[in-house]
Amino acid sequence: MSLPIEYVTAQYQDTGNPSYRGNPFIEALPPIMEIRQLKEGLEGKVDFSLKHLQDKPRQRAHMVAALLDDFFQPLSQHVLLEERISIMVRRGYVSRNLLDGSLNEHLQNGYQRVMSGDLQSYKFRNVLTTATCLSLIGCSGSGKSSTLDRILATYPQVIYHENYNFFQLSYLKIECPNNGSQQSLCLNFFREVDRRLGTNYENTHGRRRHGIPTLLALMSQVANERAIGVLVIDEIQRLKIRKAVGREQMLEFFVELVNTVGIPVILVGTPKARPLFEVELQSARRTTGIGSLYWQPMPQYPENPNTKSEWVAFTNKLWKYQWLNRRDEVLTDEIRDCWYELSQGVLDIVVKLFVLAQLRAIASKLERITVKLLRSVYDDELKPVHPMLDAIRQGSPDLIAKYSDLRVEDIDKRLLSLQQKINQIPKEPELPFGHIEQAMRLYNLLLQTGCQSKILIPLVEKIFREQPTLTLREMMPLILDWYDEDKQKPKSMIKARKQTLIKRSDWPCLDSSDLRFVYSQLDQKEDMYSAMKDCHLVLDLKKVS
């Protein structure tokens, strides 16, 4: 039988856990991962090389924009979430074994519910269920959905059991409908199952004039027919726009799905959804069956001063991915503190602020990230999330709940706008050796050592004209000697060079230690003396004495 490329044929292996042994649904899943394997599996793959720093602005802009999708750094909360999902999926299958008849009992009870239209109906009274429910709550941009997607991607979604001619769905993820209706949720469910398995449930079950109880019974029956390992329902806060009765019915259905049908459920939402679990749901114990996770923004400082700061590790890792040819290799505390102040540790904002700052640095020819640039990007590009970030700064639960689902809308438009500015940058003159790969490599390497481009260009031409058979390693010391000789030319030439004026608009492009650069980064309220002191350019006589 030829299977679609995304399907996997079951290969069984003993898990070593007695309660999992002999269950095809569990033994066909990937082995339980160690923490090191998990981090390697979740970590994003960013294609970065220093050789690209001298690429044209348009090319670098594309590389920077790719960070939004490619960068992912596993944190402790990601590891905890994966561990709970791993347990939920496997424990949920314990009471739905294809071989011992327990799955058939669930299917028989499901058939009884469909026929009667009553979720409380059953054929077998004492059917065991080992399913649990988890609620995951966090502000928009905290990484809930993207982390879940990466964790779920470590499982093959569709597993074909050839010996039993059975298709198993290890997970299914759907979104709560905008209108919060149960009927729309059921349709979303059938539509997603059809998309994954090529079935026709939406037409056979969803398009008929079934009442809500029958639709919910059909949904639970399909969940067992396809052995869904865990059902993830995202954007659960949308239920809040419905009347109280509708919300309670929907939430009671989720509990019924776990308690009676035996399907593990993960409910994901913003803090707006928190009251649904804490107040309105009578059986709130089920949403804490395996825990309720509330994802706070990443803290700037760890609670235990003896542990490593995740904020420092995260920003150090992200800071490496700069396609700016005047980039600062070391992330200063001043920039790191400003970065946190603006983003408040909300992961999505942290990354987007970094990406937008790089694009603006390229468009403005600044080619480095500074505190002033970060603040400018925050003020201009991230206005839609200012209320949410202000609420987090104030620590007000009511305000956080009010603004928790704000997003940076139209991020693609913002990226395109900056890329259009980059496209308007006048083209740099082509280097005379631009068609020689080895010459370009040598030129870029020497630029990284701090050599000036104007002096380098004729020297690189000279070495390839006079001694082209040398290796790059042999060429570098020769060129550096020539470079030093060039800088030791007569004073008359040096004076002529000193007379070259640098426009004030170009001061932000000077070296960080240049006083003109320091002056260009001043805020209106900041004075030059304070800025020089912060940059360690003022001698403290008290320390000397």
Q: What is the pLDDT of residue 282?
A: 42
170: its two tokens: 């290890």
Mean pLDDT across 339-346: 93
Rounding to the nearest 10 degrees, give the CA dihedral for residues 11, 14, 20, 23. 40
Each residue's pLDDT tens digit, 82-137? 999 999 999 989 888 888 777 777 677 766 766 666 656 656 556 667 778 888 88
Q: Is the pLDDT of residue 463 over 80?
A: yes
Each residue's pLDDT tens digit, 152-183? 999 999 999 999 999 999 999 999 887 777 78
Q: What is the pLDDT of residue 281?
A: 39
The pTM of the full predicted model, rounded to 2 decimals, is: 0.76
Q: Is the pLDDT of residue 421 over 80?
A: no
Each residue's pLDDT tens digit, 427-446? 666 677 766 778 877 887 77
What is the band of 417 on the pLDDT scale with cuts at 50, 70, 90? low
- Report which of residues 489 and 266 the model is more confident about: 266
Alpha-carbon torsion (507, 513, 514, 517), positive or negative: positive
Average pLDDT of every residue of the chain: 81
Overall CATH class of domain 76-294? alpha beta
Residue reference for tokens 């940076």 = 408
Alpha-carbon torsion (265, 270, 271, 276), positive or negative: negative
Least confident of 149-153, 193-197, 470-474: 470-474
Q: Which residues contact 408 (CB under 8 A, 6 or more apart)?
A: 141, 348, 349, 352, 381, 382, 384, 385, 414
Q: Work out the percent of the chain whose per-residue pLDDT is above 90.
A: 29
Q: Is the pLDDT of residue 242 over 70?
A: no
Q: Is the pLDDT of residue 23 over 50?
A: yes
Mean pLDDT across 501-525: 76
Q: Give the Cβ contact number of residue 447 at 10 Å.
A: 15
Q: Is the pLDDT of residue 406 over 60?
A: no
Q: What is the pLDDT of residue 491?
A: 47
Each residue's pLDDT tens digit, 243-285? 554 556 666 767 776 776 678 889 898 887 766 665 433 444 4
Each residue's pLDDT tens digit, 349-403? 999 999 999 999 998 888 899 999 999 999 998 888 888 888 888 887 777 777 6
Q: Is the pLDDT of residue 62 over 60?
A: yes
Question: Please, what is the end-to-end C-alpha distance for the chain in angstroms?
Answer: 85
Q: Is the pLDDT of residue 409 over 70?
A: no
Each residue's pLDDT tens digit, 178-207? 777 778 888 899 999 999 999 998 888 877
- Cβ atoms of 154 and 33 within 8 Å: the answer is yes
Q: For the chain, what are the domain ranges?
A: 76-294, 310-424, 437-488, 504-535
Q: What is the pLDDT of residue 224?
A: 86
Judging by DSSP bridges, how do beta strands 158-161 and 166-169 pair with one another?
A: antiparallel
Q: What is the pLDDT of residue 127?
A: 63
Mean pLDDT across 62-77: 91
Q: Which residues contact 205 (CB under 8 A, 6 or more apart)?
A: 186, 190, 215, 218, 219, 222
533: its two tokens: 């002191």
Q: What is the pLDDT of residue 283?
A: 44
